[in-house]
Structure 1
Amino acid sequence: MAVPRTTLITGAASGMGAALARHLTALGERVIGVDLHDAQVCADLTDPAQRAALVARVQQIAPSIDAVVACAGVSPPVPGDTLVAVNYFGVTDLLPRLLPLLHRATEPRAVVISSLASLHPVDARLVELCLDGNEAAAREQAGKIGAQSYASSKRALTQWIRRTAVLPGWADKGVLLNGVAPGIVMTPMVAPLLETAEGREALAAGVPTVVPDYATAEQIVPLLAFLASPANGYMVGQVPFVDGGADVLLRGEAAL
């Protein structure tokens, strides 16, 4: 009998993380959930010390992990410095720390939630600071620009995925790193915007779609599960859009 895979999911207490946890558990796989609360491992991803403690705790739970899926994320009106700390450094500082555990697995995978917002206007300075790994300066810059920190953090995250996926220690060691860029997903994170006419208009302007409804978390899960599984044996550094057509409407037919 095959040994069940073990997948670590950040943001596992709600939204896409919770939906993925339910899906994998139903398949008989083991899930290690990470979140601020209501999770097997509780940690604040804005705090570098808690990121390190999280990894130490996971090492106590499992000698190896087969996949990491980084679903944790926040959006406005959360302050900009918190946005960049969770959305960018809560991934890019954490995943390399987990590499030794992934290296012990037979077919390790890593998946990161980016966003269609990565196509929106960004603050170039914040993107640069993120990619340079300067968390203190990035958080300071994000605090100055506010809401634009969301798109900027996701643009930087997408670039980090593509940059990192081909570095030594990742695909060459079997750790296939990819992302997913959803459009609007009906999760607790976007619920406040959907409750007001002003919020719905802002969403429609920034994320136009050609389908009648926004996605449910369960509609994103199959792609996440595939990318985190051995069935994905050849995708490296890709961040496909799952957005109801928003990418095409915003960028047209250009392939690049």
Structure 2
Amino acid sequence: MGTQASRTTLITGAASGMGAALARHLTTLGERVIGVDLHDAEICADLTVPAERAALVERVRRLAPSIDAVVACAGVSPPVPGDTLVAVNYFGVTDLLPRLLPLLQRASEPRVVVISSLASLHPVDARLVALCLESDEAAARDHAAKIGAQSYASSKRALTQWIRRTAVLPGWADAGVLLNGVAPGIVKTPMVAPLLETAQGREALAAGVPTAVHDYATAEQIVPLLAFLASPANGYMVGQIPFIDGGADVLLRGEAAL
């Protein structure tokens, strides 16, 4: 059985935000981190391009014979166009992770963690969610381009469903590959910074993501949960997407357990 210090973790979106914070944390623990991002990373790749996803996997295979964990942090939000939102947030995860599965299956205690969002609870476009879950990327991207900003919540809803559906498929949990997600609320990252800079943006965030605490999270406050789910210490969670949101889920859904 490997120790955490000897593990190799692949992080998408490693150049900024939660991905960068997690990379720093794991590096201090002695882990090897393979970072993926558009720039400033060990592997530079555009996850909107299917061919680059495939090439990324080949580059990872040349760097490491096996991968102990993958943490999919890469994501974009409005005002990014809808087709890009769904390409990164959904297909940049769901097309990539199965390609990495053989490398994970070679590890002794493999783990996969995916960043979803509290936005998965917001109103969504059912057609886009269905197209995503049908793996019809061309049609999903075309539809997302038409509906714009709602593609964000829709891509995250589809991603949450994909995590729960995939985690129990053959080759995943039964092979020791434990797949889980995390649903943050507002995190003070470069992606959110433009909204926090204006009164209108802050009001919009507060309306969609109410909190019971007095501030939004820093990336470093999300890292301990990500690190746990990606580690051997997580030996039994499968297909779960815990909310780490300052109470937003409770304020939005009340006492409802499901």
| Band of TM-score, shorter chain | over 0.9
| Deviation of 1:233 (Å) | 0.3
Q: Distance in 2 between matches of 1:233 and 1:115?
A: 23
Match for residue 193 of structure 1?
A: 195
Render the CA deviation track for 1:71-126: whole Å, top value 9, x for unaligned.
00000000000000000000000000000000000000000000000000000000
Match for residue 119 of structure 1?
A: 121
Q: Distance in 1 between matches of 2:196 and 2:39?
A: 25
Q: Distance in 1 between matches of 2:105 and 2:150?
A: 36
Q: Distance in 2 between matches of 1:195 and 1:206?
A: 17
Superposed CA RMSD: 0.8
Letter in 1 for 2:119: A
Match for residue 217 of structure 2?
A: 215
| Deviation of 1:50 (Å) | 0.1
| Deviation of 1:68 (Å) | 0.2
Unpaired runs of 5+ residues, structure 1, are none
Match for residue 67 of structure 1?
A: 69
Q: Distance in 1 between matches of 2:167 and 2:66?
A: 20
Q: Report the number of matched residues.
A: 256
Match for residue 248 of structure 1?
A: 250
TM-score (normalised: structure 1): 0.99
TM-score (normalised: structure 2): 0.98
Match for residue 202 of structure 1?
A: 204
Match for residue 170 of structure 2?
A: 168
| Deviation of 1:171 (Å) | 0.1
Render the CA deviation track for 1:40-90: whole Å, top value 9, x for unaligned.
000000000000000000000000000000000000000000000000000
Q: What aligned pairs does 1:24-63 form with structure 2 within 5 A after superposition? A: 24-63=26-65
Q: Distance in 1 between matches of 2:80 and 2:243?
A: 24
Match for residue 154 of structure 1?
A: 156
Q: Distance in 1 between matches of 2:23 and 2:125?
A: 34
Residue among 84, 87, 96 paired with 2:86: 84
Q: Distance in 2 between matches of 1:218 and 1:45?
A: 24
2:99 is aligned with 1:100: no
Match for residue 240 of structure 2?
A: 238
Letter in 2 for 1:43: A
Q: What aligned pairs does 1:176-187 form with structure 2 within 5 A after superposition? A: 176-187=178-189
Render the CA deviation track for 1:123-175: whole Å, top value 9, x for unaligned.
00000000000000000010000000000000000000000000000000000
Q: Classify the secondary structure of the residue corresponding to 2:70.
A: strand
Q: Distance in 2 between matches of 1:120 and 1:99?
A: 30
Letter in 2 for 1:107: E
Q: Which runs of 4+ in 1 moved over 3 A?
A: none
Q: Classify the secondary structure of the residue corresponding to 2:148.
A: helix
